[in-house]
Amino acid sequence: MKKTITALAILALVAAAPAAAQSGNMSFFITSAGGGDGAALGGLAGADQHCEDLAYPAGVGDLTWHAYLSALASDGQPAVNARDRIGSGPWYNYAGDMIAADVTALHSDAANLTKQSILTETGAMSNGRGDDPNMHDILTGSNLDGTVFTGEDYTNCGNWTSNGEGSTRVGHHDRTGGGQNPNSWNSAHNTRGCSQEALIGTGGNGFFYCFAIDGSGQQQPASAAEPR
């Protein structure tokens, strides 16, 4: 009887191993949950911490995680570009597929960024257009090239501290929808407000992208030798 229990325990560990191996190589994910307070994320530092909090139970908490968010120049502080705060790459999703080899590739047609490849920290796909509810608006505050978005009366939601009036820039993780750049993963259109209700109203839920800034040192799996 004891040998049978031991054998079953070993089988259970073996069955669980593939998921652990996959997430262990992860250096990019879309958040499975937002902060819950619209675009008020506690600034860039608060957003980074949210990435860390989600990464830890996924088994990649030993990496340094930053949110892909830009910030306007404010209070004597210079503007921050999302592209400048995510490391140098390469980055891999939960499944071990390469998302992009470097920052230049990430902001080009070479990037492997689709609804199917932009997975959460648990390996799940997020709802997109056609799903109920649609949650494809992803917070970025950025232009197509990953620099900070600017415009007349544009507030960037107080650089991720406001849940009231104003707006920020969002992308579509499923690469479809409306706006000036409907197929863009990082710069499709502006929101109609900064509250949770406003984000939900235009097809979002306060999600954003997280990148491991030290992910470039990870071992590249054979299956992810080239972007798909």
Band the pLDDT of 144: cuts 50, 70, 90: very high
50 pLDDT exceeds 50? Answer: yes
pLDDT at residue 10 in the model: 38
More reliable by pLDDT, 173 or 228: 173
7 pLDDT exceeds 50? Answer: no
225 pLDDT exceeds 80? Answer: no
Query: How many domains does one find in the chain?
Result: 1
74 pLDDT exceeds 70? Answer: yes
The domain containing residue 68 runs over which residues?
Answer: 2-224
52 pLDDT exceeds 50? Answer: yes
139 pLDDT exceeds 60? Answer: yes
Band the pLDDT of 23: cuts 50, 70, 90: low
**Residues 37, 39, 41, 45: what is their CA dihedral angle, to the nearest 10 degrees?**
180
In this structure, what CATH number is given to the domain that contains residue 112? 3.10.100.10
221 pLDDT exceeds 70? Answer: no
Average confidence score pLDDT of the chain: 87
Q: Please, which residues bridge with residue 208 across strands? A: 139
Q: Where are the beta strands (DSSP E) in 86-175?
A: 91-92, 98-100, 137-139, 169-172
154 pLDDT exceeds 70? Answer: yes
Cα diameter, the chain: 73
13 pLDDT exceeds 80? Answer: no
pLDDT at residue 223 in the model: 32
Tokens of 111: 């990037």
pLDDT at residue 24 in the model: 65
224 pLDDT exceeds 70? Answer: no
224 SS3 class:
helix
Sign of CA dihedral 22, 24, 26, 32: positive
The mean pLDDT of 68-79, rounded to a whole number, is: 97
The mean pLDDT of 29-58, rounded to a whole number, is: 97
Read off the pLDDT of residues 87-131 as tens digits, 9 standing for 90 and up: 999 999 999 999 999 999 999 999 999 999 999 999 999 999 999
How far is Cα 71 from Cα 170, in angstroms, rounded to an integer? 13
